[in-house]
Structure 1
Amino acid sequence: MLQIDVNEGETVEARRVRVASLVREQAGADLVVLPELWTTGAFAYEEFGGGAEPLDGPTHDVMAKAARDAGVWLHAGSIPERDPDGPLYNTSLVFSPSGDLAAVYRKIHRFGFDRGEAVLMGAGEDLVTVRLPDTRLGLATCYDLRFPELFRGLVDAGAETLVVPAGWPERRRAHWTLLAQARAVENQAFVLACGTAGSHAGVPQAGHSIVVDPWGEVLAQAGPGEEVLTVDFDPGRVAVTRDRFPALKDRMLGLAPPRR
């Protein structure tokens, strides 16, 4: 996980080049994860319109090439997406090791309480998972972390590893760690929550990206500054945990049809 410092003195173009270089340095990894809205900053609301781009825009091109060069699966965080037929979206892009766009997720829960992102961007409608060789990712973004029903839906769709890029503020850092662990425990899944460092429009960022296992144990956690957080884990532990402690089988509300 690449915990990027979104430095307001750095141009978006320079940051793309720098982040692409960091991705290439992770050659040999299975999966690389970037934070939410690392091109503009999650709280830089006035930058959303000018920084918005289509799905096949410059961030797509640079990240696709970086994934291909490194030979990794790349969750490229999220960008402000400009849909030519609709509103702006907070949109995550996932690339395969060949550089193909494997998945797109538009953030469902927008933060702001009728301000900021909540009024500037449209809400996504689709739960998104993507199959990797050894696990199925379930995609969510930042504020989504507060809504457990979204993660239940991802688990019902087969997710075993929940990936949450974020631009989480420092003043609510305790919630960040607590919620990441809660989502892991209740869904018996790995949680990879990747935040940003630095400051977005004067809002200090929490950093402290975190990897949590299906039992709620913290496998690794970053500090407050820019950092590359590397962790090895066995995706097979999801099935083992769910088999040894089959709590998901006892759900009484919102049961999904059995998967065949």
Structure 2
Amino acid sequence: MRASLIQIAVDEDESVESRRRRVASLVRDQAGADLVVLPELWTTGAFAFEEFGNEAEPLEGPTHEVMAKAASDAGVWLHAGSVPERAPDGTLYNTSLFFSPSGELAASYRKIHRFGFDKGEAVLMGRGEDLVTVRLPETTVGVATCYDLRFPELFRGLVDAGAETLVIPAGWPERRRAHWTLLARARAVENQAFVLACGTAGTHARVPQAGHSIVVDPWGEVLAEAGAGEEILTVEFDPGKVAVTREQFPALKDRVL
């Protein structure tokens, strides 16, 4: 299975509409991949809090339209990262969009753990409630977003729902990059699953981003890792390794809680 993680640099001088067109072109360039992954809140920047309300869109808004066509044109499964969604009742959510190779919306995920403590996303956006998995021909994908990475119980829930590959778009800050790598590997090891974690590059609202998108196998080995700048990280991996790992070292069977 071939996956491409598009580590987008969010430039504050680039309009959201221009970035949508540019990213759609990058997705189309990945024709031949099985799965393409974009980062969290790449339309606005994860730390550009004041832009969330300004750029919020309905679930089937402009990003949905552009990314659905890009997925269909490329013939790929596309995790299109997340956008600030404005629900019909006016509530904002950090919502991921997952498209099939025909351009259909296969799933959406509203981020459960909102970052910021008593400011930013934590107070501006509503909390999602549902765990989301998507069945691809080769593997079942469990979906999480950025700060979710710090909460292992969410990933246990995804594994219980059948997840074998964990896909995590993020806008992770550079100052905590060591945690990004550590937690991605930990989630892979403890769940005996592949982890595909796609971050952003550049600077969001004066917050330098970590970049360093990463793909980790079920033993915790890093298969590929990006640098700090905009980059497309492409990796081939065998989803069958999940079942083999879980059979050879059946730790999940010994769970008590």
Report the TM-score range of the alignment, normalised by the length of the smaller protein.
over 0.9
| Aligned positions of 1:241-252 closer than 5 A | 241-252=245-256
User: How many pairs does the alignment contain?
Assistant: 253
Q: CA separation in 2, counterparts of 1:140 and 1:223?
A: 22
Q: Aligned partners of 1:43, 1:85: CA distance in 2, in Å?
A: 24
Could you say which residue in structure 2 is the equivalent of 1:121? 125
* AA at the equivalent of 1:186: E
The SS at the match of 2:234 is coil
Which among 42, 64, 69 is matched to residue 65 of structure 1?
Answer: 69
Does residue 1:216 correspond to 2:220, yes or no? yes
Q: Deviations over 1:64-120 (max 9, x none)?
A: 000000000000000000001241000000000000000000000000011000000
Distance of 2:46 and 2:30 partners within structure 1: 25
2:249 counterpart letter in structure 1: F
Matches of 1:108 and 1:223, distance apart in 2: 28
Q: CA RMSD in A?
A: 0.4
The answer to whether structure 1 residue 53 and structure 2 residue 57 are counterparts is yes
Write the distance in 2 (CA, Å) between the matches of 1:47 and 1:84: 19
The equivalences for 1:78-157 within 5 A come to: 78-157=82-161
Q: Which letter maps to 2:140?
A: R
Residue 234 of structure 2 corresponds to 230
Q: Residue in 1 aligned with 2:34? A: 30
Q: Which residue among 183, 189, 213 is the counterpart of 1:185?
A: 189
1:212 and 1:134 map into 2 onto residues whose CA distance is 17
- Counterpart CA distance in 2 for 1:251 and 1:55 is 37
Aligned to 2:208: 204
Q: Helix, strand or coil for the counterpart of 2:195?
A: strand
Render the CA deviation track for 1:148-197: whole Å, top value 9, x for unaligned.
00000000000000000000000000000000000000000000000000
CA distance in 2, matches of 1:184, 1:86: 36
Deviation per residue, 1:27-82 (Å, 9 max, x gap):
00000000000000000000000110001100000000000000000000000000
Q: CA–CA distance in 2 between the matches of 1:59 and 1:154?
A: 26
- Alpha-carbon distance in 2 for matches of 1:9, 1:85: 31
C-alpha separation between the residues in 2 aligned to 1:86 and 1:7? 28
Deviations, residues 103-141 of structure 1 (Å, cap 9, x unaligned): 000000000011000000000000000000010000000
1:16 equivalenced with 2:20 (yes/no): yes
Give me the whole-angstrom Cα distance separating, in 2, the residues matched to 1:65 and 1:129: 22
**Structure 2 CA distance for aligned equivalents of residues 219 and 121 of structure 1:** 34
Identity of aligned residues (%): 85
- Measure the CA separation in 2 of the matches of 1:54 and 1:132: 26
Distance across 2 between alignment mates of 1:92 and 1:98: 18
Q: Report the Cα distance in structure 2 between the residues aligned to 1:75 and 1:104, rounded to whole angstroms.
A: 9
**Which of structures 1 and 2 has the larger relative contact order (alpha carbons within 8 angstroms, sep 6+)?**
2
Give the whole-Å Cα distance in 1 for the aligned partners of 2:18 and 2:108: 24
Secondary structure of 1:84's aligned partner: coil
**Partners of 1:200 and 1:69 in 2: how far apart?**
30
Q: 1:258 aligns to what?
A: none
